[in-house]
Structure 1
């Protein structure tokens, strides 16, 4: 299974980039993980939020394959504990998911086209974080799921 995290915008904070690289390198090779950062929409300041979401959707859809399982990182999504999330990853692996794609949208979220295309929505927290920090937190949770699935000691067990 391939796991992709596709994000709108680039990570420009050097410290966050270092931590993202740290956790990315710790992921198991069989996850075939990739982080894709899409350049922001040009002239975004001249677009309404609705228009901007539609333009971002075009960019996202360009990176998706028809067979992808698409999961949105969305504030209205379901929340999981780390163990529950690892079980969800295990489920996707067991049903032979070819490519599992997680999306981090722009400042205004996703267009209706993207919501229609997605199979699921996940929320990392009820709190608000920067989109750059979400990338780090999410990649760390993918790493944590891999350690749980490989039977390594977890947290305070």
Structure 2
């Protein structure tokens, strides 16, 4: 199954990009959950916050491939632990889902229409994370989910 991260904005820090690429490289073709694909979108026009959020939602919606299951990242979403994330992704894989896309909005979050369109909405906890680090956190959690599903000792949680 292909995992995609569709995100507003572009990496600006080489260190953050390197961290992301490290986890993405571990999910090579042939992994249960992989390879990992990142697609970044960006609106360059200076728009009012609500207009910008709507436009970013349109750009992310266009990047979402037909037939892909989508998971919106939102502070109001469900909190999953790593085993639950592995169960979710593994279950979709067993159902024959070919691609799962995580949706990361801009500074003002995801548009309502994109959140409503998502198959699931999850939160990475109650803390606020920089959008660029969310890519890294997701890449690590997808790698961890893959390790859990493959019975690899990377995940040592209970």
TM-score higher than 0.5 here? Answer: yes
Mark the runs of 5 or more structure 2 residues left unpaired by the alignment: none
Structure 2 counterpart of 1:32: 35
Q: Given the alignment of the two structures, is residue 150 of structure 1 paired with residue 150 of structure 2, yes or no? A: yes
Say whether residues 1:65 and 2:65 are aligned partners. yes
DSSP-derived class of the 1:10 partner: coil
How big is the shift at 1:113?
1.6
CA shift at 1:57, angstroms? 1.5
Deviations 1:132-153 (A, max 9, x none): 1111011000001111111012
The answer to whether the 8 Å contact 1:2/1:33 transfers is yes
Tell me the distance in 2 between the aligned counterparts of 1:8 and 1:23: 20
Q: Distance in 1 between matches of 2:56 and 2:117?
A: 14
Q: Which moved more, 1:93-102 or 1:59-68?
A: 59-68
What aligned pairs does 1:1-157 form with structure 2 within 5 A after superposition?
A: 1-30=1-30, 31-38=34-41, 40-44=42-46, 47-153=47-153, 154-155=155-156
- The runs of at least 4 aligned residues of structure 1 exceeding 4 Å deviation read none
State the Cα distance separating 1:156 from its structure 2 match.
5.5
The answer to whether the 8 Å contact 1:4/1:99 transfers is: yes
1:70 positional shift: 1.1
Aligned residues: 154
The alignment partner of 2:136 has SS state of helix
- CA deviations over 1:106-149 (Å, ceiling 9, x no partner): 01111122122111101111101100111101100000111111
Q: 3-state DSSP class of the match of 1:43?
A: coil
Q: Please, what TM-score do these two structures have when normalized by structure 1?
A: 0.92
Pairwise CA RMSD of aligned residues?
A: 1.4
Q: Give the structure-2-normalised TM-score.
A: 0.91
Paired with 1:65 and 1:20, the residues of 2 have a C-alpha distance of 22
Structure 1: which 5+ runs fail to align? none
C-alpha separation in 1, matches of 2:116 and 2:125: 23
